[in-house]
Amino acid sequence: MLVKQLVFCFFFAVKILNRKGVVTAILGISAFYHDSAAALVVDGEIVAAAQEERFTRKKHDAGFPSQAVAYCLSEGGLRPEQLDTVVFYDKPLIKFDRLLETYLAYAPSGFKSFRLAMPVWLKEKLHLRRTLRKHLAGADRARLVFTEHHESHAASAFFPSPFERAAFLTLDGVGEWSTATLGTGEGNQLTFLKHLLFPHSLGLLYSAFTAYCGFKVNSGEYKLMGLAPFGQPVFFEQILKHLIDLRPDGSFRMNLDYFNYCQGLTMTSEKFHRLFGGPPRKPEALLEQRHTDLAASIQKVLEEIVLRMARETHRQTGMTNLVLAGGVALNCVANGRLLREGPFENIWLQPAAGDAGGALGAALFVWHQLLDKPRQPASQDSQHGSFLGPRYGSDRIAAFLTDMKAPYEKPDTEDELLTRVAHLIGQGKVIGWFHGRMEFGPRALGARSILGDARNASLQSVMNLKIKFRESFRPFAPCVLLERASEYFDLRPDQESPYMLLVAPVLEKHRTPPAPDDRENKPAAGDLLERVNRVRSTLPAITHVDYSARVQTVDSQRHGRFYRLLKAFEKLTGCPALINTSFNIRGEPIVCTPEDAYRCFLATDMDVLVLEDFILVKEQMDRSAAQAAHQRHLSQFEPD
Ligand SMILES: [Fe+2]
């Protein structure tokens, strides 16, 4: 009680200060699990947000986000002393309680995983106040606040959304105890109505199949989703019969005999392996039909659960808008179905839906929910296109290119620049595109992107194998002018998807008839590359085997120069879409600085690099430098 009163007094004092015109700076932090990040909110405005991996070049970096914090403060023009609140995105003591209880429930069989987890808990996580103070030298005046994991996710979904009122759904692996929640956001307050608790978790269920199919947990879920359309959901009934007890409201209980994450170091148990016909696939081993069928089956189960939960959320709240966050909200195939099949009229998805976004949500939670500050939803949203990271000016880039002795072109006007780039794309060149503030969240949205001509049938395999060095089956996504998106994809004319989190079918009129074996969704998985390369539409490079596409809509307000580039390409070719994939190779975080972009460009078969106003063409460069860079760059990043 005393603690509550003290917290109240603190926030009351902050309110009084604010009446005198003092700004309130809140720094949100997520760290120590995966995808560490920092976010800065000043007087309710999202000023900056970035993931630590982009600076350290270590994918999913889980360390304290020192560089992301330093960046956020510099973007806001603040010193650590000027921070009012530092908020951590979950409550470590409750999490530790869950860890202990789980261990005791399975003791002694979980001792090995418990022993491995303990040192980092004892060293850092249990003493998080001390750890945060240690890392945030100078911020002694700032109050430390800890929000619950799903409060952070729900806040990241609702507060930046364009809605005055919305239902929310958070879906992830696990936070403290909650694994999924639903509730409402109204004005500046969130209300939680229902929780699903550990060990029953949609995120962990999907991750178990991710691991079983040979992909990394917390990063390979995307690959499993991309693999699903190659298979048939033949294990759907088996999963529902043996693995989970699914109820009409979308809640479920998992049969823990089939899983090992409570007590072991693996996700699945021997019983799971017996049920699905063998041991887990080794990373990089051949993908068999069984794996594609498993991917299709668990994807169908996930969609069924998400749709049921959404219907339950709608039933309980009666609202017409839905917002989503949590790692499962990155499953854009499920999101696409949710949008098409209802029951909600409008959906907004937090682009940094995973734990990185928890830093932003926690900061917004303090501002609105705890400080009770009013909220004025913006007509699009308050996420600023998720361009919340650092930008690098032309002067710095010019100096860098001079240092590198790199030949470049610098057109006099933006028009000339965009026309030149549009021509290069039209000629089949692959472009590294670096412009403006870096994206916050896992997707490249036109600030740190690799672009290509979506009409070019050979580009998918070229880009997968020679530029990204990744698995041949993985699809690429299109970016498309918002005003023309519904001409190509099954989307409402006004439906935005600025964060590339919705999968929509390519319209029939753009499809080419399937080959007979394609229609039956055969042959076996060994021929994935051959199947990927078949032309399925007038935009073959971005049309997946099931005629779907993960669409990003591009509009003039959010996307500025990137929008104008698409307009230039449309003017030249009539086509309003491009391939848009993240600017990195497999295992590498998306590039952050011009130096990162230049290294990645040199090391791959990318043809052109556009660094703000400068164009570099590989053909005009010294090939030996590129060849030397190739191995050096690749050796830095472990394939994910
Ligand atoms: Fe989470």
Ligand 1 center–CA 132 separation, angstroms: 20
Cα(175)–Cα(91) distance, integer angstroms: 9
Question: How remote is the C-alpha of 232 from its chain's centroid?
Answer: 26
pLDDT of residue 14: 46
Structure tokens at 428: 């089949």
Ligand 1 center–CA 412 separation, angstroms: 46
Question: How remote is the C-alpha of 324 from its chain's centroid?
Answer: 12
Ligand 1 center–CA 206 separation, angstroms: 14
CA distances from 291 to 238, 297, 525 (A): 15, 10, 8
Rounded to the nearest 5°, which phi and psi values hold at 609? -125, 125
What are the beta bridge partners of residue 268?
Answer: 259
Least confident among 115-119, 208-212, 552-556, 571-575: 115-119
Number of CB atoms found within 10 A of residue 315's CB: 10
Ligand 1 center–CA 561 separation, angstroms: 33
Contact call for residues 587 and 389 (beta carbons, < 8 A): no
CA distances from 10 to 144, 378, 415 (A): 11, 29, 53
> Per residue in 232-248, pLDDT tens?
999 999 999 999 999 99
Q: Which one is predicted more confidently, 576 or 284?
A: 576
Contact call for residues 480 and 576 (beta carbons, < 8 A): yes
Ligand 1 center–CA 476 separation, angstroms: 26
Average pLDDT of the chain is 88
> Per residue in 67-122, pLDDT tens?
999 999 999 999 999 999 999 999 887 777 777 777 777 666 666 666 777 777 67
pLDDT of residue 123: 72
Average pLDDT on 15-27 reads 65
Average pLDDT on 31-40 reads 93
pLDDT of residue 632: 72
pLDDT of residue 315: 96
With bands split at pLDDT 50, 70 and 90, how would you rate the model's confidence at 2?
very low
Structure tokens at 103: 């261990």
Amino acid at 535: V
> Per residue in 275-331, pLDDT tens?
998 999 998 788 888 999 999 999 999 999 999 999 999 999 999 999 999 999 899
Ligand 1 center–CA 176 separation, angstroms: 9
Percent share of the chain, pLDDT over 90: 64
Average pLDDT on 354-371 reads 97
Cα(453)–Cα(443) distance, integer angstroms: 19
Determine if the peptide bond prior to 442 is cis (ω within 30°): no
Ligand 1 center–CA 582 separation, angstroms: 23
State the number of CA atoms in the 13 A half-sphere of 156 facing the CB: 38
Ligand 1 center–CA 328 separation, angstroms: 9
pLDDT of residue 467: 74
* pLDDT for 35 beyond 60: yes
Residues with Cβ within 8 Å of 619's Cβ and at least 6 positions away in sequence, in order, are 607
Percent share of the chain, pLDDT over 70: 90
Ligand 1 center–CA 214 separation, angstroms: 22
Tokens 């491995």, residue? 116
Least confident among 113-127, 212-226, 469-483: 113-127
Q: Which of 560, 253, 524 is nearest to 384 (CA)?
A: 560
Q: Which one is predicted more confidently, 358 or 263?
A: 358
Containing 158, the helix (H) or strand (E) segment is helix 149-158
**Residue 105, phi-psi category: left (phi > 0), alpha (psi -120 to 50), beta (remainder):** alpha
Ligand 1 center–CA 128 separation, angstroms: 18
> Per residue in 165-212, pLDDT tens?
999 999 998 888 889 999 999 999 999 999 999 899 999 999 999 999
Structure tokens at 236: 């759907």
Ligand 1 center–CA 180 separation, angstroms: 9
Q: Which of 636, 633, 578, 637 is nearest to 605 (CA)?
A: 633
Ligand 1 center–CA 327 separation, angstroms: 6
CA dihedral 591→155→207→473, nearest 10 degrees, is -40
Ligand 1 center–CA 95 separation, angstroms: 12
Ligand 1 center–CA 7 separation, angstroms: 25
Question: How remote is the C-alpha of 199 from its chain's centroid?
Answer: 24
Ligand 1 center–CA 90 separation, angstroms: 9
Amino acid at 80: P
Q: Which one is predicted more confidently, 9 or 327?
A: 327
> Per residue in 476-505, pLDDT tens?
899 999 999 999 999 989 899 999 999 999
Ligand 1 center–CA 439 separation, angstroms: 19
Ligand 1 center–CA 99 separation, angstroms: 16
Ligand 1 center–CA 276 separation, angstroms: 28
Angle, helices 623-634 vs 594-603, to 10°: value is: 100
Structure tokens at 528: 């994935």
pLDDT of residue 308: 96
Average pLDDT on 577-605 reads 93
Average pLDDT on 30-46 reads 95
Least confident among 9-18, 264-273, 366-375, 398-407: 9-18
With bands split at pLDDT 50, 70 and 90, how would you rate the model's confidence at 525?
very low
With bands split at pLDDT 50, 70 and 90, how would you rate the model's confidence at 12?
very low
